[in-house]
Amino acid sequence: MAKSPLAGLKIGVIGSGNMGRALVRGLVEKSVYPQNISVFDVDKKKALETKKEVHVKIASSSRQCASLSDVVILAVKPPVLPQVAEEIATALTQDPLVISIAAGVPMAKIEACFKKPVPLVRAMPNLPALVGAGMSAFSLGRHALPKHRKIAEAVLQALGQAVQVPEKWLDLVTAVSGSGPAYYFLLTEKMIEAAYEMGMKVDVAKKLVYQTALGSGKVMAEYGEDPEELMARVASKGGTTEAALKVFQKQGFGKIVQDAVKAAYKRAQEISRGK
């Protein structure tokens, strides 16, 4: 078996909220020794909860967390990211790889906080990372080498799947896969509401719709066919699915989805420009 790019590396995770915890959990599941992971969070309770779950080390400050690590993951909210980057800047003595998962903080802004060349990767994961089914896109900074790319990919694969893209695509990634889970949740909500209005109990409708979403996702992932082909597998001429799809089409569902994704993209671009 090939050696993991993460073998023997010390990994520091700053911010132990939803994403930080999911990363730590995923890394341990991917056979990173918990003793090789240190976590820091300003909210000590959150760091302790992570320690309780996966027995990682707790650092006493972001600087200590960074100075102990070959890979430093910044999993704090975007507004505090520059402050954390500046805090750890002088603690990065061994040229570690820094991975930021903060939405909408451009690489140039993060690099400027370090005031020296730092191998940096900017990544955009999504919520299904919580269950190891995330989709992350990542871009390499100016000082990141091929070895850093391999490490970043392996880190992000602890959350699910990962794909490298040019940084100029990351706002679009945010609009598609970053915000994307909420679009599926909206469709789910409306299907449950429709079933309820036609007389079904909510808990039964919820079970039907959730499992249908899960199963449809698995079919897409495993068959890899175009959505049109998959729809044809469900819809038969003059049947129920065709009747529903005609309503979607007639009422402009495609245009609504396109407009919604465009709105998310526009907002992601504004956030990246600091608006």
- Footprint on this chain of ligand NAP (rule: CB under 6 A): 14-20, 40-43, 46, 62, 75-78, 80, 84, 101-103, 124-127, 178
| Listed residue (81, 83, 47) closest to 65, CA to CA | 47
Cβ 238 to ligand NAP shortest distance, Å: 42
Cβ 123 to ligand NAP shortest distance, Å: 8
Contact of 154 with 9, CB cutoff 8 Å? no
- 15 or 96: CB nearest ligand NAP: 15
| Listed residue (76, 80, 103, 83) closest to 20, CA to CA | 76
Residues 6+ apart with CB under 8 A from 43: 16
What is the Cα–Cα distance from 269 to 272, expressed in whole angstroms? Answer: 5
Which residue sits closest to ligand NAP, CB atoms considered?
17
Cβ 186 to ligand NAP shortest distance, Å: 15
- 60 or 236: CB nearest ligand NAP: 60
Sign, CA torsion 40/38/11/32: negative
The beta strand positions in the chain, using DSSP E, are 11-14, 37-40, 57-58, 71-74, 97-100, 120-124, 134-140, 160-164
Amino acid at 111: E
- 10 or 63: CB nearest ligand NAP: 63
- 141 or 205: CB nearest ligand NAP: 141
Cβ 154 to ligand NAP shortest distance, Å: 18
Cα-Cα-Cα-Cα torsion 186, 189, 195, 199, nearest 10 degrees, comes to -150
- 15 or 119: CB nearest ligand NAP: 15
Cα-Cα-Cα-Cα torsion 139, 141, 144, 145, nearest 10 degrees, comes to 60
Cβ 174 to ligand NAP shortest distance, Å: 8
- 81 or 205: CB nearest ligand NAP: 81
Cβ 47 to ligand NAP shortest distance, Å: 8
